[in-house]
Structure 1
Amino acid sequence: MGQCVTSCRGDSSFARRPGKRPKVAREAKCNGEVSVSSNGPKRGLDSGRPHGPKRHSSCLGEMVGGVGGRCVGVGCPLGEAEAEDGRLEQLFQRYRDEQQDVILSDGVERLCADLGLHPADFLVLAFAWKCNAATMCCFTRCEFFQGCRALRADSIKSLRAKLPAVHGELRDDAAFRDLYCFAFQFALEANEGQRALPRATAAAMWRLVFVPRPPALLPRWLVFLDENPEGVRGVSRDTWQMFLNFAQAVEPDMSGYSEDEAWPSLFDAFAEWQFGKQRPQVPGAAGRKENECLLTGVLTCARDDYQVII
């Protein structure tokens, strides 16, 4: 998935490290630890689950059973769920790694190709969000099934048709914020002990996550990051999350910004840099002398021309 920012292979700065496979450090648990709503995946236990008879569940989601866990007749929910499970299993197996029961970078690239998407496409990030994927370039079985079921898709054709609808869903502020917060953790190499995103990684992810809702301040912010590689070495989780508020409150001309607000120090450095760019440049002594000589020459030529005319 290009680590969901750029291509997983080739000259990408997010390329897979040679000889290393992503660590799948956790067994995906599917009995209620992840719930799906219309606003995207929600992480954490669902404490509001109603009490009652325990229903059967699988990595594909909760299946509804009748008396004794069985039902009969056309349209039986259990039978329909089992049929959908089978289609999703076939889809998963198409991209599954040969050695591990997960989809790794090669499989993600094939999935993107079948969907007609570049690995750096925003919709690839959106699918990872729907899957609540923990690691770039890797989908566990449960993550893949969760994403497909959230989109109500069980084939490449239906995935291709349903994914663009995520753009409409993200018009909702709460849904977009959830995606935005997900993007930080998704880009983080937590297995390597990483707690902050490198500057280049953060910049690439900002470009990607804001595709459906780009703030006016974003272009100047990215230029600032590019021109200050030594001053901006990493982006913490707090800085990442606060930037969404900052970008919504502050305009490119810095209207809406106040030094009295408790912004992270990186934002204050950006404001100082931006104010410096906006301040008119006053020429120094050498510049003033050059301007005076130029002006004197123009006036002399004009005087001589006037004398010739007379």
Structure 2
Amino acid sequence: MRRSSTKKKSAESVATDLFRSELSSAIKKKKSNKTTSSKASTKEMDRIDQLFNQYANRSSNLIDPEGIEKLCSNLDVSHTDIRILMLAWKMKAEKQGYFTNEEWRRALKALRADTLNKLKKALPELEKEVRRPTNFADFYAYAFNYCLTEEKQKSIDIETICQLLEIVMGSTFRAQVDYFVEYLKIQNDYKVINMDQWMGLYRFCNEISFPDMGNYNPELAWPLILDNFVEWIAEKRA
């Protein structure tokens, strides 16, 4: 009986040792994978920083308008291309025409773009991401805020708004943008556009049938500029 008990304990001991060995091996493997992943992530960030330094102004450590122009040239896109604005949105860039290293890292790491070629290939996917309805409203609002050049600025001049509309909405709501830009350029009541009016236009494009505008109700909470815009179109067609 004692021998049997000894054999049983011996078997249990072997099983325990085997379990501990496997557990130890699994932990070591996990740590090794984590270390490898950490090293890969560090190398990726180093490459992202190296790319940043190719365009950054050394004295300010910022990618300034000149650096952005160089970046656009290397990406074979115009500086007015909507994808550059989308890239700024992805960075959550705060100041128009300037990218900080932190903003640059945020976007390129998310896009898995640690080389110029990878960034170029990532732009079409970025555009798809932004154009999802859940993201586009945020991007549209961001575009307005990005164009505010002063800290306490609340509105944007008509000329800039017309250019911004062309970039942000032109490819999606061509007819509405053409009419609204024409109206803004000939009217004399407004010199600037604020955020409420800007977002009102976005709602207008998404909710109002165009060009008949039969479902537009001026009694609802529309910015006055849109009431005037609808009246102007009606007179224009009369």
- Place the TM-score, normalised by the shorter chain, in its bin: 0.7 to 0.9
Instruction: Identify which of 221, 231, 234 aligns with 2:189.
Output: 231
Q: Distance in 1 between matches of 2:114 and 2:183?
A: 43
Among the aligned pairs, what percent are the same residue?
Answer: 27
Q: Distance in 1 between matches of 2:211 and 2:223?
A: 18
Q: Which runs of 5+ in 1 are unaligned?
A: 1-66, 280-310
Q: Distance in 2 between matches of 1:234 and 1:74?
A: 54
Partner of 2:141: 181
Q: Distance in 2 between matches of 1:181 and 1:74?
A: 39
Partner of 1:23: none
Larger relative contact order, structure 1 or 2 (CA cutoff 8 Å, min sep 6): 1
When normalised by structure 1's length, the TM-score is 0.64
Q: Is contact 1:131–1:147 with CA below 8 Å preserved after alignment?
A: yes
Partner of 1:262: 221
Q: Is contact 2:75–2:116 with CA below 8 Å preserved after alignment?
A: yes
Query: Cα deviations across residues 123-152 of structure 1 (Å, max 9, x unaligned)?
Result: 111111111111111001111111111211
Instruction: Identify which of 82, 88, 95 aligns with 1:122.
Output: 82
Verify: 1:95 aligned to 2:55, yes or no: yes
Verify: 1:82 aligned to 2:62, yes or no: no
Q: Is contact 1:220–1:252 with CA below 8 Å preserved after alignment?
A: no
Q: Which runs of 5+ in 2 are unaligned?
A: 1-26
When normalised by structure 2's length, the TM-score is 0.82
Q: Is contact 2:170–2:177 with CA below 8 Å preserved after alignment?
A: no
Partner of 1:242: 200
1:73 shift after superposition:
5.3
Pairs within 5 Å for 1:1-310: 71-72=31-32, 76-191=36-151, 193-214=152-173, 216-228=175-187, 230-250=188-208, 251-279=210-238
Q: Is contact 1:97–1:104 with CA below 8 Å preserved after alignment?
A: yes
Query: Cα deviations across residues 69-109 of structure 1 (Å, max 9, x unaligned)?
Result: x9435972211110011101100110111211111011111
Number of equivalenced pairs: 209
- Give secondary structure in 2 for the equivalent of 1:98: coil
Partner of 1:294: none
The structure-2 alpha-carbon separation of the partners of 1:171 and 1:140, relative to structure 1 and needing over 3 Å to count, comes to closer
1:217 shift after superposition:
1.8
The structure-2 alpha-carbon separation of the partners of 1:74 and 1:142, relative to structure 1 and needing over 3 Å to count, comes to closer
The structure-2 alpha-carbon separation of the partners of 1:171 and 1:98, relative to structure 1 and needing over 3 Å to count, comes to closer
In structure 2, give the amino acid aligned to 1:151: L
By percentage of residues, which structure has more helix? 2
- Give secondary structure in 2 for the equivalent of 1:72: helix
Query: Cα deviations across residues 268-301 of structure 1 (Å, max 9, x unaligned)?
Result: 111111111111xxxxxxxxxxxxxxxxxxxxxx
Query: Cα deviations across residues 159-178 of structure 1 (Å, max 9, x unaligned)?
Result: 00010112322342111111
Partner of 1:35: none
Q: Distance in 2 between matches of 1:267 and 1:78?
A: 53
Runs of 4+ in 1 over 3 A off after TM superposition: 70-75
The structure-2 alpha-carbon separation of the partners of 1:211 and 1:169, relative to structure 1 and needing over 3 Å to count, comes to farther
Q: Distance in 1 between matches of 2:195 and 2:54?
A: 35
In structure 2, give the amino acid aligned to 1:79: K
In structure 2, give the amino acid aligned to 1:235: I
Q: Is contact 1:215–1:248 with CA below 8 Å preserved after alignment?
A: no
Q: Is contact 1:167–1:212 with CA below 8 Å preserved after alignment?
A: no
